[in-house]
Amino acid sequence: MASAAPAGAPAPEPAAAVRSPSMSPATLGVYLHVPFCERVCPYCDFAVVRVGRASHGLDPSLERRSVDALLRELASRREDFAGLRLETIYFGGGTPSLLGVDSVARLVAGVRGAFGARPADDLEVTLEVNPSTLERARLPGFREAGVNRLSIGVQSFDDAVLRRLGRAHRAGEAHATLAAARAAGFANLSLDLIFASPGQRLAGLERDLEQVVAFAPEHVSTYALTIEQGTPFARAAARAQLDLAGEDETVAMLERIEARLGEAGLARYEISSFARPGFASRHNRRYWERRPVLGLGVGAVSCDPPGPGRPHGVRRTNPRALERWLERVEAEIEVAEEREVLDPATARGEAVFLALRTLAGLDAEGFRREFGGPPRAFFAAAIDALAAAGLLAEEERGNLALTRAGRLLADTVFEHFVGGGEPPEAAPPIDAPGPQC
């Protein structure tokens, strides 16, 4: 989007007065990446592997080898997170619900056992699910396996939009899967919605929102279609073959999503996320608050906790190729292909723009404790420029939050903080290690 606030943008609003409590840094989230998909959507640039039609699930030998490798990687990394209390498990993909019930149960039990088998009610265990007959039939078993939260990739309730997105399911399957999830006893459902899709306009989004509201999920994640380099959609866009909504209409969609979901009791708590009270994603909050996450599987990213010589933590990234990941795990060598000890400048920038993704915004005192000075000590010029443009609000205590206009232009705002700013000439010493990446 453009770098200036759109014409007629609302006046800046004050930073959120009520701040959500931070998680304890002594907790841990575990992310397990399952890369398998029946088809690869033309907009997707995730680390995925096409397995063709999986009417009976994955090939048993491939599934067994992959699950064994996830558990072996878990065993090789558990000591790096020793002493942390397990709080969340998240199965992402790909399509992790192509795994059989027994495989999911093995993985949940393995993670719980590695970090202390807390009562299941204390954990948030999320499984991403696509609407399909196979996955729908497995929902009761997944719940028995310990999954208590589903993230359902509906994306749209319009069959024409689903076809243009390259999705395998249709609206009827989405309705059936949502109903089956409730019947299986899931009381914490998140629904994914893509908007500004090829051929979609505001009236089409309105129809999607009506069906979202009618279903009454506990959580909704909404994403404007992003054209990622190297994807079929990127090639089609370069040939001017994608009928995409213009900037003004996309902004109108963003505003309509917030208004309509808010009216239905789903409050926006992060740029892309809406939830009923008590149902914000605990796992996703870990990333915005830079808390430890152990990432397992193809392309997974870990955020290791701080320690001596690494006060802001370490980021490790696994190989994106399935065979390369399997070979490294099975050879018992370092699985991650990239390892980055976060320097203060990188950590400062990430601390700001990740916190600004949330409506609570950035806590200046917490920032000062980690980096030796308040945000203004490093980013005064950026703060002043963004505040003058009506995109950023600064409280008297130095807390920062995006305004409504700033949320519409969030990527533009975030660019001002990449690089970490300039440190003050005489910053006080850092009096506590920061959270981490």
Q: Assess whether 282 and 385 both reside in one domain.
A: no
Quick one: 250 and 381 in the same domain?
no
Of the candidates 45, 51, 386, 409, which has an alpha carbon nearest to the alpha carbon of residue 231? 45
CA–centroid distance for 293 within its chain: 12
Q: How many domains does the chain have?
A: 2
Each residue's pLDDT tens digit, 404-437: 999 999 999 999 999 876 665 433 333 334 444 4
Residue 324 in any domain: the answer is no
Residue 334 has pLDDT above 80, yes or no: yes
Query: Any idea which residue has 């440190």 for tokens?
Result: 423
Q: Is the separation of the CB atoms in 423 and 373 below 8 Å?
A: yes
Question: Which of 400, 435, 418, 395 lies closest to 288, judged by CA?
Answer: 435
Distance CA 62, CA 53 (A): 15
Smallest CA-to-CA distance from 145 within 92, 204, 185 is with: 185
More confident residue, 230 or 104: 104
**Domain boundary residue, one of 286, 305, 331:** 286
Q: Are 31 and 127 in contact (CB under 8 A)?
A: no
Asked if residue 310 is part of any domain, the answer here is no
Does pTM surpass 0.85?
yes
Cα–Cα distance measured from residue 130 to residue 169, given in angstroms and rounded to the nearest whole number: 8
* CB burial of residue 11 (10 Å; 0-12, 13-18, 19+): exposed
Average pLDDT over residues 326-342: 97
Q: Bigger pLDDT: 41 or 10?
A: 41
What integer best gives the mean pLDDT of the chain? Answer: 88
Whether 197 is covered by a domain: the verdict is yes
Range ranked top by mean pLDDT from 95-109, 112-126, 228-242: 95-109
Which parts of 63-140 are beta strand (E)? 85-93, 124-129
Asked whether the beta carbons of 370 and 430 are under 8 A apart, the reply is yes
Shared-domain flag, residues 348 and 281? no
Query: Are residue 134 and residue 46 in the same domain, yes or no?
Result: yes
Would 122 be classed as within a structural domain?
yes
Indicate whether 51 and 174 sit together in one domain. yes
* 49 occurs within a structural domain: yes
In a domain, 260, yes or no: yes
Least confident of 21-35, 301-315, 332-346: 21-35
Residue 304 lies in a domain: no
Query: Is there a single domain that holds both residue 80 and residue 227?
Result: yes
Which alpha helices (DSSP H) does 315-388 contain, by range? Answer: 322-330, 344-356, 364-371, 375-388
Dist CA 164 CA 170 (whole Å): 11
- Within this chain, do residues 351 and 280 fall inside the same structural domain, yes or no? no
Question: 145 and 66, same structural domain?
Answer: yes
* Nearest partner of 32 among 85, 103, 84, 81, judged by Cα: 103
CATH of residue 90's domain is: 3.20.20.70
Residue among 132, 218, 138 nearest 175 (CA): 132
DSSP secondary structure code for residue 395 in this structure: -
Residue 120: the pLDDT is: 64
Beta strands in 183-254 (DSSP E): 189-195, 219-224
Same-domain check for residues 360 and 267: no
pLDDT at 53 over 80: no
357, part of any domain = yes
- Sequence-separated contacts (24+) of 386-391 with Cβ below 8 Å: 386/413, 386/416, 387/12, 389/4, 389/5, 390/5, 390/9, 390/11, 390/12, 391/5, 391/12
Q: Please report the pLDDT score of residue 15 as a whole number.
A: 34
Residues 111 and 38 in one domain: yes
Q: Which of 286, 303, 327 is the last residue of a domain?
A: 286
Summarize the confidence of residues 297-323 as an average pLDDT: 96
- Identify the domain containing residue 404 by its residue range: 344-415
Would you say 184 and 127 are in contact if contact means Cβ atoms under 8 Å apart? no
CATH of the domain at 390: 1.10.10.920
Residues 188 and 56 occupy one common structural domain: yes
Residues 372 and 263 in one domain: no
